[in-house]
Amino acid sequence: MAGLTLLFGLILASFCACSADTAQILRYENSNLDSDGYAFSFETSDGISREEKATLKNPGTPDEAIAVQGSVNWVGPDGVHYTLNYLADENGFQAQGEHLPQVEH
């Protein structure tokens, strides 16, 4: 859990470091899919974009849960374009990105 908190902290720090000026929202979409989930996406003038979709799995059963899948893109202070893809479901939070350290199983 501490590793996950550190990862989110590093991502947030990257966003903050990139946004010295106030960014403008270029695109924003938000959909409430009733009780079946939601979807949203946005893009800002400083190169950040994000999209996320949640779906209800196993509705009406004891295993009912929300599964969230998404991605976020940004340009770091080093000028590199980063992409983080993620899935959060009954198996926990799973992040993928070329910039992330690889964990050996």
Instruction: Between 104 and 40, name the one with better pLDDT.
Output: 40
Rg (CA), the chain: 16
Q: Tell me which long-range contacts 5-8 makes (C-beta under 8 A, separation of at least 24).
A: 7/95, 7/100
What tens digit of pLDDT does each residue of 24-80 get? 999 999 998 777 889 999 999 999 999 999 999 988 899 888 899 999 999 999 999
Q: Is the pTM of this model over 0.75?
A: no
Question: What pLDDT is attached to residue 12?
Answer: 52
Q: How many CB atoms lie within 10 A of CB 84?
A: 19
Instruction: State how far the alpha carbon of 26 is from the alpha carbons of 11, 84, 102, in Å.
Output: 21, 20, 33
User: Per-domain residue ranges for the chain?
Assistant: 2-96
Helix spans in the chain (H): 2-18
Question: What pLDDT is attached to residue 17?
Answer: 53
Q: 98 falls in which pLDDT band (50, 70, 90)?
A: confident
